[in-house]
Amino acid sequence: MKIEEGTSAELPFITGGGLSDRYNFVQLHFHWRESYFGSEHRINGEQYPAELHIVHYNSKYGSFNDALLHRDWDSD
């Protein structure tokens, strides 16, 4: 899998590594707290003070808002 930077008019995207399509970058955001309960997910049952989400959408949908209308975006 690789993260590539497109032309100056494009945002970064992900391809390869078993992905059949191109996934365009939308945003990144953090979940955090001062305690060990900031992360949204757990690793081996452990929760951590922070977690980073890097959000992409499948380019076959044309836009992030259009991609939200399809259930294949939900990986949980």
Kindly report the pTM of this predicted structure: 0.70
Categorize the per-residue pLDDT at 59 as very low, low, confident or very high, splitting at 50, 70 and 90: very high
Whether residue 31 has pLDDT greater than 50: yes
Whether residue 21 has pLDDT greater than 90: yes
Closest CA to 58 of 26, 20, 22, 27: 22
Average of per-residue pLDDT across 58-75: 84
Q: Widest CA span of the chain, in angstroms?
A: 41
**Would you say 50 and 31 are in contact if contact means Cβ atoms under 8 Å apart?**
yes
Domain boundaries, the chain: 2-73
Q: Report the distance separating Cα 30 and Cα 45, nearest Å.
A: 20
pLDDT for res 76: 47
pLDDT for res 24: 92
